[in-house]
Amino acid sequence: ERGGNNSFTHEALTLKYKLDNQFELVFVVGFQKILTLTYVDKLIDDVHKEFRDKYRNEFQQKGTLGLLNGTFDFKDDFMRLLRDAEESSKVRAPTVMKTFEQSLKSQKTVKCMIETRGEKPKEKVKNKKNKGSKKEGIEAVAAPGKALAGDKQPSTAGEKEELTKDEILQKNREEFFKRHMKAGEKSRSPKPEAQKEKGKKPRVWDLGNSNAKVLDYSNSATNGSAEACPVEEFDPDIALGDRNREPGRLYDLEYESDDEAEEEKVIQNPSKPSTKKGGLGGMFGMLKGLVGSKSLTREDMDPVLEKMKDHLIAKNVAAEIAVQLCESVAKKLEGKVMGTFTTVTSTVKQALQEALVQILQPQRRVDVLRDVMDAQRHRRPYVVTFCGVNGVGKSTNLAKISFWLIENGFSVLIAACDTFRAGAVEQLRTHTRRLNALHPPESHGGRTMVQLYEKGYGKDAAGIAMEAISYARNQGFDVVLVDTAGRMQDNAPLMTALAKLIAVNAPDLVLFVGEALVGNEAVDQLVKFNKALADHSMAQTPRLIDGIVLTKFDTIDDKVGAAISMTYITSKPIVFVGTGQTYCDLRSLNAKAVVAALMKA
């Protein structure tokens, strides 16, 4: 699924590879990364062609098992091809300068370069003509209005052309002054008797509270401390959503796909058109396109891949990722013999679906509950840090994850490390109060399940996180969720501060929070976040993003391309998916459901 990139770098080595899909062979060439070898692509192509032609019959007769038991004497051929490739890179034709006859200047005649005094260049004359036509158009539009006012206007264009340049300028000035004088007279209308009162009146909303004192917290002596805040009354059904769900369970993402019968067009080879135009010719042509008698070529796949690429981009997959995916599918299928009664479209679509599912399925599964229990055995809190750009829903989804952890029996400490955004601490305090109302200490043996650790605004976020982790260790909290300020990926000072927070506190899990609405920006965000964490970390092996939280998934219908873009760039799993406004609206990613939505027409 990542075959679009035909090279791989590991420490000091670079590997380049080529696939032979017909005989299921992989040709790999390895060389030192520091060397710049221009002949590598030619060498691997020559070796592929020579080796394939030499042992073609043996491949066809013995099959795959024969390859494993067989011996191939190819050393002499390889050394010959290597020498040829090295020699071809050395012999380069020197760059030849163009002669005067080949240049554009030689095509110009002497006559077109001569300028006569008093004669203007043709281009300037054309421009003046265009300007004149624009002026005439404007005056023609304004003419009816002026005629009603009784002004004298030239009736035809011929009269206007007879006037000299100075006369036209004078006439235009007079018209301009007349027009403005009339506009001034119209504006001098009698003043209304009822004058507007000076000063701004407060707006009163129809459904709002008319008593503004209820909303005035400016003179509060408590300064928003958690102990003095009144207990908020709210409906638990609104906060929880579905009351019939199983507590503590993280449901899979669901997608209802419509099984529509899609008409697949059979793409025939344009180089071999059918000679018969009758019914039999069309039928045989269709069978020729269906029966698996030939191997796929790039020319057969290009029209289908182009449509697939446009479809992926329309579904919010980043353009760069869509191109690489289609390139990977082409390399995977090129030279492969098609199955019986299969079309090019269905073969390409099936290969693309398999590649997308493979990308979404993580190489390393993140099991948060198992990791939390492992941290409990070592008597330390499990630390999760949330990072991302502004407004993607870090604090809201942090509260959803807190609710999920509490329902699984773990106590949570929320560290308010967003000391920049106004209202960030108050938002987390409200969530803490609501979560404690849903899970009061009485239901958990007198144990407070969620608590907020905050030091106000303008403080060092890394220091607050360190103090919160130490407090959680002393008080016996199971999980610490660190909320950070939103920052753009181009803001170097803020990215340095985030790298410092992660390097100093060494969290168990670093989650990047991204919204499902994003398109090409997903690539830029994740690449620059990872680059900033690597550049600003003092460790030899820097800590990068471990997983992704995909938010606002309920707003995009079937345009789920951001999930593909993010996982393709980072090779990291999507751990949580936010799908709504209640605490229960948290899901785990279902790769097949996402691909079904993505491939829907």
Q: What are the tens digits of pLDDT across the range 557-595?
A: 888 888 999 888 888 889 999 988 888 889 888 888 888
CA–CA distance, 265 with 283 (Å, rounded to integer): 14
Question: Domain locations in the chain?
Answer: 7-89, 296-360, 368-593
Write the DSSP symbol of residue 458: S
Beta-strand pair 7-10/13-20 = antiparallel
- Could you tell me the two tokens for 295? 């191997």
- Between residues 102 and 547, the one the model is more confident about: 547
pLDDT for position 510: 93
Q: Where are the alpha helices (DSSP H) in 56-202?
A: 56-69, 75-90, 110-113, 122-149, 157-162, 165-187
CA–CA distance, 119 with 86 (Å, rounded to integer): 62
Q: What is the pLDDT of residues 146-176, one digit of tens each?
A: 444 444 444 444 444 456 777 888 888 888 8
- Type of residue numbered 334: E
- Could you tell me the two tokens for 459? 């403080």
Q: Which helix (H) or strand (E) holds 374?
A: helix 368-377
Would you give the distance in Å from CA 218 to the centre of its chain?
42
Cβ neighbours, 10 Å, residue 560: 25
Beta-strand pair 382-387/25-32 = unpaired
pLDDT for position 404: 93
CA–CA distance, 27 with 19 (Å, rounded to integer): 6
Strands (E), 420-464: 450-453
Residue 125 binned pLDDT confidence (cut-offs 50, 70, 90)? very low
Residue 219 binned pLDDT confidence (cut-offs 50, 70, 90)? very low
Say if residue 314's pLDDT is above 80: yes
Four-way CATH pick for 7-89: 3.30.310.80, 3.30.450.60, 1.10.3720.10, 3.40.190.10: 3.30.450.60
Q: What is the pLDDT of residues 37-48, one digit of tens each?
A: 888 888 888 888
**Measured in Å, how far apart are the chain's first and last C-alpha atoms?**
22
- Could you tell me the two tokens for 436? 């404690």
> Angle at Cα 576 formed by Cα 373 and Cα 430, nearest 5°?
85
Residue 221 binned pLDDT confidence (cut-offs 50, 70, 90)? very low
Q: What is the pLDDT of residues 547-559, one digit of tens each?
A: 999 999 888 888 8
pLDDT for position 224: 37
Contact status, residue 578 vs residue 386, Cβ threshold 8 Å: no
Cβ neighbours, 10 Å, residue 324: 18
CA–CA distance, 513 with 483 (Å, rounded to integer): 11
Say if residue 472's pLDDT is above 90: yes
Q: What percent of the chain has pLDDT over 70?
A: 70
- pTM across the whole model: 0.63
Ramachandran region, residue 455 (left: φ > 0; alpha: ψ -120 to 50; beta: rest) = alpha
Four-way CATH pick for 368-593: 3.40.50.300, 3.30.300.180, 3.10.20.90, 1.20.120.1730: 3.40.50.300
Residue 371 binned pLDDT confidence (cut-offs 50, 70, 90)? very high
